[in-house]
Homo-oligomer: A and B are copies of this chain.
Amino acid sequence: MPKRVDHGQRRAHIIEALVRVAAAEGLHAVTMRAVAAEAGMSLNLVQYYFDTKAQLMHAALERLEQQSHARWSARLARLPQPVTPQVFVETFLAEALPTDEESRAFHLVWTSYAVLAMTDPELAAQPFVEGPNRLERQLTAVLQQARDESAADRSWDAATEAAHLLTLAHGLGTSVLVGQRGAEAATRILHAHLDRLFDPGE
């Protein structure tokens, strides 16, 4: 056969190899040859499916974004219905912390890309602005809903609080990745704040 192969699948395979390499040795260790070796194929094939390294890097970034959406959707679907705003927010933020190994790899590589994007305008700053902004809007909506549904007097602003929570989660995630604290400690800090938000009067 000219082995009419599924290109999408091949590309996915390669990108997964890239992520493994990046998660284990850092994004700087991502070389065409290293990815090829990790993917168990020849250097040529990587070139064949992604003409240039820049294309590979971009494709990997896009795929990471899609995957994070997929992860979140799946997790949301697994929640017992109906989903209260509080549970929604807690799940939302739990997903933003590197708890299991897969999540750790994702966040590490994502953060590496983010740092790259800080100086490389070529590497679309788009995912790192548009993406978080979308998340922030989603979270704002749910927080607003939680506020309205509750009789309790909540003195916070939904938009400000959404930004606060997301950046807090990201900061905590970084501290976990860098080994400053465990995922459990990060979760505790996050929940201490969430409890304060949702149960104001103690």
What residues make up the interface of A, taking CB atoms closer than 8 Å to B? 23-29, 108, 111-112, 114-120, 125, 128-129, 132-133, 155-157, 160, 163-164, 166-172, 174-175, 177-181, 185-186, 188-189, 192-193, 196, 202
Is A118's CB under 8 angstroms from B178's CB?
Answer: yes
Q: Measured between alpha carbons, how far is A128 from B196 in the docked complex, in Å?
A: 29
Q: Report the separation of the CA atoms of residues A202 and B201 in the bound assembly, to the nearest whole angstrom.
A: 13
Known: A23-B119, A27-B115, A111-B118. 9 other contacts (CB 8 A): A26-B118, A26-B119, A157-B192, A160-B189, A163-B185, A164-B189, A166-B171, A167-B172, A167-B174
7 interchain residue pairs of minimum CB distance: A171-B171, A167-B171, A26-B119, A170-B171, A128-B178, A168-B168, A129-B180
Q: Which of B25, B116, B155, B160 contacts A188 (CB 8 A)?
A: B160
Q: Is the CB of A115 within 8 A of B125?
A: no
Q: Could you tell me if B125 and A179 are in contact, using CB atoms closer than 8 angstroms? A: yes
Chain B nearest CB: distance from A182 CB in Å?
12
* B residues in contact with A169, CB < 8 Å: 171
Chain B residues with CB below 8 A from A132, complex form: 175, 180
Verify B177–A174 contact, CB threshold 8 A. Answer: no
User: Out of B117, B166, B171, which one reaches A178, CB within 8 Å?
Assistant: B117
Cross-interface CB contact of A108 among B25, B118, B179, cutoff 8 Å: B118
Contact (Cβ within 8 A) A116 B168: no
Q: How far is the CA of A133 from the CA of B178 in the complex (A)?
A: 12
